[in-house]
Amino acid sequence: MLYREAGDFSTSYPEDSQTFPIRFDRYRYWAVLAVAFLVIPFVVNDYWASSLLVPFLIYTIAAIGLNILTGYCGQVSLGTGGFMAVGAYACYKLMTAFPDVNIVFHIVIAGGITAAVGAAFGLPSLRIKGFYLAVATLAAQFFLVWLFNKVAWFYNYSASGQINAPERFVFGQAVTGPNSTAMSQYMICLVFVTVCAIIARNLTRGTLGRSWMAIRDMDIAAEIIGVNPLKAKLTAFAVSSFFIGISGALFFAVYLGAVEVGEAFGIQKSFLVLFMIIIGGLGSIFGSFAGAAFLVLLPVALKVLGVDVLGWPTDLVAHLQLVIVGGLIMFFLIKEPHGLAQLWRLAKEKLRLWPFPY
């Protein structure tokens, strides 16, 4: 009954094209933001922050970035882990070189550096696409991991090869280092994911987003009607890498605190973020949230149910997780390519029409 509408009363273009045309959706959006900003920070503990909330927020930013490139522009990428590594190492170098600058600026600048690197690796997309572009971005993944492993300058000539985040403060609260609290980690990630989601939503609804979608649907026809493929593809790579770089910086500085590039940003990370947008829904900002939430919550739920409740071996539960994820990927690719986001849209349409037939 919450989705009842008695006609379309839009009287202007802004009303007709608003993100949440249904009043209940607008109320729900503000209610979720209110709970996220005003309730959760005061009740969150270390377990919930480290196991669910912080990784969910960070992976959501990475999923939004990859969704812009793959879901909206149609450019397949398997280099997400490498671009996250660029953001992490750029943030580390900035934190150590400019210790008096606020870490928020370091994270944003790290995203900008990653955007430049992503645009450079996106140049092959002007001549190749599909499987060949996926292989090219996969090469970028391996090259970046090799670079950060072999060039000691990136990890300040540390004997262990690891990078460790020094302690930094925002408004007097430690957000990195051993003294950071669950509340401060959660809040800085929440602010970044909120801003990134708003920026991404507006970009995809504007002229730039329409050019991305035109390239995705049929690049030759898009070029005929005046879309510049050079600008569209390179801006998609740059914007996507910007968000991915921010997620990598947060993943290193706020979440882990210390990383080794091969373990933290290997090829598994690229596939994980790709699975998030496949399950959540390609070409959907909400799908990025849904896919990240699903794949972050699934291991925790399986551990609680399988290990703690049913007493199954840990290795069995780990393999069961892989089976479930693989099965869901096949299901969504065959039956519902637009993922959980499309299922949510269909459910809302049913609620708007029920109990009347379509």
Over residues 191-216, the mean pLDDT reads 92
Confidence class for position 214, pLDDT limits 50, 70, 90: very high
**pLDDT for the residue numbered 3:** 61
Q: Which residue has the tokens 């991404």?
A: 200
Write out pLDDT tens, residues 78-110. 999 999 999 999 999 999 989 889 999 999 999
Confidence class for position 8, pLDDT limits 50, 70, 90: low
Burial-class residue 171 by CB neighbours within 10 Å (0-12, 13-18, 19+). exposed
**Higher-scoring residue by pLDDT: 13, 230:** 230
Is the link from the previous residue into 355 a cis peptide, with omega within 30 of 0? yes
Write out pLDDT tens, residues 300-350. 888 888 877 787 788 888 888 888 888 888 888 888 888 888 888 888 777
Instruction: Transcribe 275-307 into DSSP letters.
Output: HHHHHH-TT-HHHHHHHHHHHHHHHHHHIIIII
Q: Residue 145 in contact with residue 262, Cβ under 8 Å?
A: yes
DSSP designation for 167: P
**pLDDT for the residue numbered 177:** 84
- List, in sequence order, every residue forming a beta bridge with 259; answer none if it has no partner: 163
**pLDDT for the residue numbered 82:** 93
Write out pLDDT tens, residues 255-290. 988 888 888 898 999 999 999 999 998 988 999 999
pLDDT at 148 over 70: yes
pTM: 0.93
d(CA 46, CA 44): 7
**pLDDT for the residue numbered 355:** 64
**pLDDT for the residue numbered 306:** 82
Q: What is the mean pLDDT of the chain?
A: 88
Over residues 1-20, the mean pLDDT reads 69
pLDDT at 357 over 70: no
Q: What percent of the chain has pLDDT over 70?
A: 96
**pLDDT for the residue numbered 152:** 87
CB crowding 90-121: b at 16 or more within 10 Å, else e: bbbbbbeeeeeeebeebbbbbbbbbbebbbeb
Degrees to nearest 5, angle at CA 190 with 185 and 194: 160
